[in-house]
Chain A
Amino acid sequence: MTKMHIKLTVNGEPKEVLAEPRELLIHTLREQLNITGPHIGCETTHCGACTVEMNGKSVKACTVFAAQADGAEITTIEGLGTPDELHVLQRAFREHHGLQCGFCTPGMITRAHRLLQENSNPTEEEVRFGMSGNLCRCTGYQNIVKSILAAAAEMNAIKEAAE
């Protein structure tokens, strides 16, 4: 199958890949670019383990063709914080025990990151609704919700202090 030449930006770095038209973005990220934070849990857009940001929106990379990401800006869990300076959400998930096996966590945090861009001061109900595209089998969500609400509060406090 003829391969397509695709250019995209991943976590701020320009990348070029050759991919078949049918190649899924999640496989491009994981197998061609060795970005293994996003995971594959269902391949049918239900579980959200593969959630990344594409042009400022949460997408499930298992049902986006690499070709559709040509020219796109992609952010994955690897782009949110650094080992020396974790993102507030990354710290909050640890602080409030918002993860167990860790498989859903990159998608969870990446989705939560976008949710808080869209709504910086969500209610518990809004967090639960906004996160309902991401499945977790270990935590029962209670501490995930707690982590996100705590992160929102901290991010707002940081913003206020800066203003």
Chain B
Amino acid sequence: MNDMAAPTREERAAKLKGLGCSRKRVEDVRFTQGKGNYVDDVKLPGMLHGDFVRSPYAHARVKSINTEAAMAVPGVLAVLTAKDLEPLSLHWMPTLAGDKQMVLADGKVLFQGQEVAFVVAENRYAAADGIAAVEVEYEELPVLTDPFEALQSDVVLREDLEAGADGAHGPRKHHNHIFLWEEGDEAATNQAIDSAEVVAEEMVYYHRTHPCPLETCGTVASMDKVNGKLTVWGTFQAPHVVRTVASLLSGIEEHNIRVISPDIGGGFGNKVGVYPGYVCAIVASIVTGKPVKWIENRMDNLMATAFARDYWMKGRISATKDGKITGLHCHVTADHGAFDACADPTKFPAGFFHICTGSYDIPVAYVGVDGVYTNKAPGGVAYRCSFRVTEAAYFIERMIEVLAIELGMDAAELRRINFIRKDQFPYQSALGWEYDSGDYHTAWDKALKAVGYDDLRKEQAERVEAFKRGETRKLLGIGLTHFTEIVGAGPVKNCDILGMGMFDSCEIRIHPTGSAIARLGTISQGQGHATTFAQILASEIGIPADSITIEEGDTDTAPYGLGTYGSRSTPVAGAATAMAGRKIRAKAQMIAAYLLEVHDDDLEWDVDRFVVKGAPERFKTMAEIAYASYNQAIPGVEPGLEAVSYYDPPNMTYPFGAYICVMEIDVDTGQHEIRQFYALDDCGTRINPMVIEGQVHGGLTESLAIAMGQEIAYDEIGNVKTGTFMDFFLPTAWETPNYTTDYTETPSPHHPIGAKGVGESPNVGGVPAFSNAVHDAFRAFGLRQSHMPHDQWRIWKTAQQLGLHG
């Protein structure tokens, strides 16, 4: 021993940089130097480039495709059409939602931007020349862009589906109908609402938008014919599932397929699904024997890959005259586009929309969702949310506001008297969920106090009077939201994707010198897994986070997992990490007992070591134990120190939060200004507060975009009107406000470390907060409901319709 005093327990704990530490991110070292490795950075010898001929029409018959001129273009090597894929049965592919979709146009096209032919060339310029030379003859067909009209129309969109036959989720009542999915007791709900003292009714529309990560989708497929191995790099939020799907579709045995998700430039749900580009690149590589790269451009991304939302939600909510909610009825008309390619757990065609009772104790409820085909792009992904949870949160938080108007009541108070109380958890909701934990009143009171709610209401009332006197042209809106999320899909008993249970995994290997590597079934797209999962492990096994490598995304090395989306990484893979860590510790305890010549039970864990109870000077550190596991023969114990855990969560987790937005609105220009945004999140145990805050800032900015301007809009003949960043709104640093973040901490009772997930909360809670602020500004002038996005034109129009322009 040297002369220096031994580090205290606190010093040893701090050195680990474990749970609760705002550890700086390990990823940033390479990202800040431009040394990330994204899919478009992958460059292989002899690599070819593939790109699509896309349909200019939203609905048309494909009369002929002539590839002759394209094949004559210098540098063009192949042009694939549906006819070429048909012998391989790859001209159609299954979707994650039990439907199928065309890989390349098979006789007709069903949305603008649909993939018609795949041109393979020596470089991207030659591919573009080839695309321009492909001649396609179309015959236009009537276009359906409105789901309500589609359900009445004689026009049959999906001629491939047998008339009258059931779909994947039961009977279809019309040729453009996909499914009706129901939950809850409709008769009892109707009875409660019909006999109620107060009823509010409203159509709440959550418009079509797009996750739009800054990096578009792409892949590099390389078929090694010598070894019979296919390697596929790509923007995959679920690499293991992609491997399984690729094997099932191609017939190549799964061990001969290696899928690699390199660094991913944001996902937000856009990179969950399997797209025609992936399939075509793989086929083209098999055909040519060379690696083939396909990278979407931005317009392709916005037009063709995975939109989000597009839910028409008709609600009825009832209450006693003093504001106690007695029932909630919701019917959704869901526009799924040309193919049902929603990325939801298989048994949930409307995702977890039935979390739509929100944070409130509602005795009886019903929800029915009709899925509809239209001539729009397929998708319906969870854009930074758990499956359809954003839609649900927006719906209930609007209905609460409308009910408050109907009751003539303050909306904050209406929420307070209907919150599920702390002592009611675990709480069984009327639509079948068991909320694991929550303390809504505490969070709500903290939030209201932080923004000075009562003073804001006074100021607002004064502003209305001043406006009426003609002294100002600006109104003040106070947007309230209390949301409850449902994330961490999920228990294998009811959650699967294409039959794969939604567990997740972690495999840990401790090296002889006391550092470690852990591999997980998830994949980071900016969430900072390499930083935060090492922190979970550091606290579990006493090895500093800085000495732990986290690796994800290579199916040849990582254990099978269902990937990263729906805020499932921390609830599921984070739990697997903790559980695998505990297995390491259990074995370490046996080794320490042998080394210290005591019984296992005589040891206790102390930060980074096992200590003999009552004899603190006798201990073995994890580093010493790791070394011993490799260099000593220990009776009854295998050499080495490794563990693996496949974690099947017993329940979802239920993060919640209270958001308040204070907004100024100019009634003459329709411009808005965010004066204050306060976001309180409760995500249970906090792993890295710095990362949590960053996630909240980012999610709020996405929700600002969605609520205030971002949409995928179509004209009446199905042209995408928002296909570039000129028209598709992404806020810049200039439009984005500063946010104030706050928290309460209610650990999940069933998660090994009590964590719940946070990445998606700000998108779920942010949209209703912004939208409610707009509505609230006009409440005094009679506004009940207006549709998002609240861009300048729509706000101006609202003011006009309310007669505020004099």
Contacts and interface: CB of A to CB of B under 8 A. Distances in A.
Interface of A: 20, 22-23, 27, 30-31, 34-44, 46-47, 49, 76-78, 81, 83, 86, 90-91, 93-95, 97, 99-106, 109, 127-129, 131-145
B264 A40 contact: no
Nearest to B27: A102
Contacts of B125: 20, 22-23
A139 to B, nearest CB: 5
Contact of B33 (A31, A77, A129, A135): A77
Contacts of B295: 40
Nearest to A44: B724
Contacts of A38: 34
A143 B726 contact: no
B40 A139 contact: no
Contacts of B40: 30, 36, 39-40
A93 B527 CA distance: 16
Contacts of B213: 101, 103, 137
B33 A81 contact: yes
A143 B694 contact: yes
A100 B526 contact: yes
B732 A137 contact: no
15 contacts: A36-B38, A37-B33, A44-B298, A49-B214, A77-B34, A94-B32, A99-B28, A100-B528, A100-B698, A101-B265, A134-B732, A137-B214, A139-B698, A141-B732, A142-B736
A132 B36 contact: no
Contact of B214 (A37, A41, A97, A127): A41
B115 interface: no
A110 B695 CA distance: 23
A94 B25 contact: yes
B124 interface: yes
A90 B33 contact: yes
Contacts of A133: 732
A158 B525 CA distance: 35
B298 A43 contact: yes
B697 interface: yes
A91 B115 CA distance: 43
Given A100-B698, A136-B214, A142-B738, 7 more contacts: A40-B295, A44-B725, A77-B32, A90-B32, A97-B24, A103-B266, A103-B526
A34 B44 CA distance: 12
A143 B40 CA distance: 27
Contacts of B28: 93-94, 99, 102
B732 A83 contact: no
B212 interface: yes
Contacts of A103: 36, 38, 213-215, 265-266, 526
B297 interface: yes
B361 interface: no
B35 interface: yes
Contacts of A22: 125
Interface string B210-230: 001111100000000000000
**Chain A, interface SS category:** loop
B177 to A, nearest CB: 35
Nearest to B527: A100
A132 B733 contact: yes
B690 interface: yes
A92 to B, nearest CB: 9
Nearest to A46: B725
Task: Tell me which of B34, B212, B263, B695 has the highest count of chain A C-beta atoms within 10 A of its own C-beta.
Answer: B34
A137 B32 contact: no
A131 B733 CA distance: 7
Contacts of A140: 697-701, 736, 739
A49 B33 CA distance: 14
B730 A135 contact: yes
A137 B36 CA distance: 17
B148 interface: no
A143 B697 contact: yes
Nearest to B738: A142
Contacts of B701: 139-141
Interface string B296-324: 01100000000000000000000000000
Nearest to B524: A101
B739 A142 contact: yes
B702 interface: yes
Interface string B447-485: 000000000000000000000000000000000000000
Given A102-B36, A136-B214, A128 B733 contact: yes
B259 interface: no
A41 B694 CA distance: 22
B41 interface: yes
Contacts of A41: 214-216, 265, 298
A46 B33 contact: no
Contact of B34 (A31, A44, A76, A127): A76
Contacts of B691: 97
Interface string B14-56: 0000000000110111111111101011010000000000000
A145 B739 CA distance: 13
Contacts of B268: 137
Interface string B258-270: 0000011110100
Contacts of A144: 733
Contacts of B526: 100-103, 138
A105 B718 CA distance: 36
A88 to B, nearest CB: 11
